[in-house]
């Protein structure tokens, strides 16, 4: 019962659940991803999305406003002026985080409280356009099987630092535009990044104009085929520091 396929078989089969003496809801809760969102002033973001969920996936996202025990199954704040905190629990069926927070300008911080699964493979544009985002807590984040991190933090223009030391990037092939237009970013810890399988780094740090230092001594660029404008818009001071590590 530890594999997702087994779980899918028994989820809607009550007879099988009874025979196995299995509480399927407890199992789902244990394998869920749980995160907390804090929001900026609601008045600045009337009718703004706080998370992007397709109609087919809505049933797998359990959303609670202001720690309420009442689940709110909708994508918008509409008619609720007092929302400033959201708890989201995501079931095991979700396998991609592509564009999950795309252009969600109302979020000020994100905390991944629980992340026990390893079946997420796509994080393309996951936080792209979150221009009010000031902090992300990745202490429990799991990227073990992620292949695509392109545009992941693009245009997160209010972020001043990112600690990505928990990231496992061994399977990542695409990092293009990953930090593009993070114009306020001063501290970025990616010293642990494994880039052995990365093929695209185009625009990766483009317009990171406030970045003061960047440790890329561990970068392996042997398989990279596209590095165009990787550091375009970065300070001359930063470019001089990294010149001997990566071909600009």
Q: What is the DSSP string of the chain?
A: --SHHHHHHHHT-HHHHHHTT--HHHHHHHT-EEEEEEE--GGGGTT--SS---TTTGGGEEEEETT-SSB---S---S-TT--EEEEEE-TT--B-TTTTTT-TTEEEEEEEEE------B-TTSSTT-TT--EEE-TT---TT--B-TTTTTT-TT--EEE-TT---TT--B-TTTTTT-TT--EEE-TT---TT--B-TTTTTT-TT------TT---TT--B-TTTTTTS-HHHHHHHTTTS--
Give the model's pLDDT for residue 64. 87
Q: Both tokens of residue 41?
A: 């002033």
Quote the CA–CA distance of 209 and 246 in Å, as a whole number.
18
Give the model's pLDDT for residue 211. 93
Quote the CA–CA distance of 45 and 39 in Å, as a whole number.
10
Give the model's pLDDT for residue 239. 80
Domain ranges of the chain: 94-248
Give the model's pLDDT for residue 29. 61
Task: Using CB atoms within 10 Å of the CB of residue 23, give its burial: 0 to 12 exposed, 13 to 18 middle, 19+ buried.
Answer: exposed
Residues (pLDDT < 70) of the chain are 1-13, 17, 22-30, 42-48, 72-81, 243-248
pTM score: 0.84
Q: Both tokens of residue 139?
A: 């202490």
Give the model's pLDDT for residue 248. 36
Give the model's pLDDT for residue 11. 62
Give the model's pLDDT for residue 54. 87
Give the model's pLDDT for residue 62. 86
């Amino acid at each position: 019962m530890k594999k997702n396929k087994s779980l899918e078989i028994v989820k809607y089969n009550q007879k099988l659940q009874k025979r196995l003496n299995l509480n399927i809801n407890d199992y789902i809760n244990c394998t869920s991803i749980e995160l907390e969102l804090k929001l900026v002033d609601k008045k600045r973001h009337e009718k703004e999305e706080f998370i992007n969920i397709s109609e087919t996936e809505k049933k797998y996202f359990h959303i609670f406003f202001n720690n309420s025990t009442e689940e709110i199954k909708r994508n918008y704040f509409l008619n609720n002026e007092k929302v400033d905190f959201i708890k989201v629990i995501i079931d095991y069926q979700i396998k991609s985080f592509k564009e999950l927070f795309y252009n969600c300008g109302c979020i000020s911080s994100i905390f991944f409280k629980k992340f026990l699964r390893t079946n997420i493979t796509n994080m393309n544009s996951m936080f792209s356009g979150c221009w009010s985002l000031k902090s992300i807590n990745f202490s429990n984040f799991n990227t073990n099987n992620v292949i695509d991190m392109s545009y992941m933090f693009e245009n997160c223009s209010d972020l001043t630092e990112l600690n990505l030391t928990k990231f496992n990037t061994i399977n990542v092939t695409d990092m293009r535009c990953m930090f593009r237009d993070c114009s306020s970013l001063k501290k970025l810890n990616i010293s642990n990044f494994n880039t052995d399988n990365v093929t695209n780094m185009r625009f990766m740090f483009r317009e990171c104009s406030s970045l003061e230092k960047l440790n890329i001594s561990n970068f392996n660029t042997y398989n990279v085929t596209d590095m165009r404008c990787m550091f375009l818009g970065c300070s001359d001071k930063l470019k001089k520091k990294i010149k001997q590590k990566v071909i600009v």
